[in-house]
Amino acid sequence: MPSEKVEKKDSQPLRYVTLRIRHPQGELFEEGSAVRQFAVLSNRWELKAARLIEWHREKAGPMEFVHDVIKNDLGGGVLPSKYFGANAAWLRLAVIAHNVLGALKRLALPPELLAARPKRLRFLLFNLPGRLVHHARRLILRVAAVGKGTAAYGEGLRLLPVST
């Protein structure tokens, strides 16, 4: 069990799940070994080991894909200023946009849009023609297009929890 610098009295120990990957063709890894080992350290005891590994791999996806989306789709690759602080803020905003889009896809969009890139979401959902109308002390969005985009809006509104 790992010992942390600060542990609370009632905290549970962390859980290790280790993967051993054997290459079917022998010693083809870069370092020449036939076996690689990876560990996942978690505090989620309620999941079985296989589901914990799946959950761990789903969290952000492969990092190269995340970097590609942030750099090319969300503008993180083109820094706007010669000043370090402004560029750091720009990159943070791109990462926040990526996280918000990931939460939107998981919580409020149909499962077929889970792997959609930001450009597809922009053309499918965000750029729909519509009008905001104030009527009877309510704000109503009237969407002009009928089709996949409006169906995704309706599904998203159904999936989101309503707070009063």
Contacts of 23 (CB under 8 A, 6+ apart): 29, 34, 35, 36
What pLDDT does 1 receive? 47
pLDDT tens digits along 79-99: 999 999 999 999 999 999 999
pLDDT at 98: 93
State pLDDT tens for residues 99-137: 999 888 888 888 888 888 999 888 877 777 778 899 898
- pTM, rounded to two decimals: 0.55
**What DSSP element (H or E) covers 143?**
strand 138-143
What integer is the mean pLDDT of 1-24? Answer: 72
pLDDT value for 126? 78
Q: Which of 153, 43, 42, 47 is nearest to 108 (CA)?
A: 153
Higher pLDDT, 146 or 124: 124
Domain ranges for the chain: 12-59
In terms of Cβ atoms closer than 10 Å to its own Cβ (0-12, 13-18, 19+), residue 17 is: middle
Longest dimension (CA), the chain: 72
Reduced to 3 states, what is the DSSP secondary structure of residue 73? helix
| Between residues 86 and 159, the one the model is more confident about | 86
Q: How confident is the model at residue 32 (pLDDT cuts 50, 70, 90)?
A: low
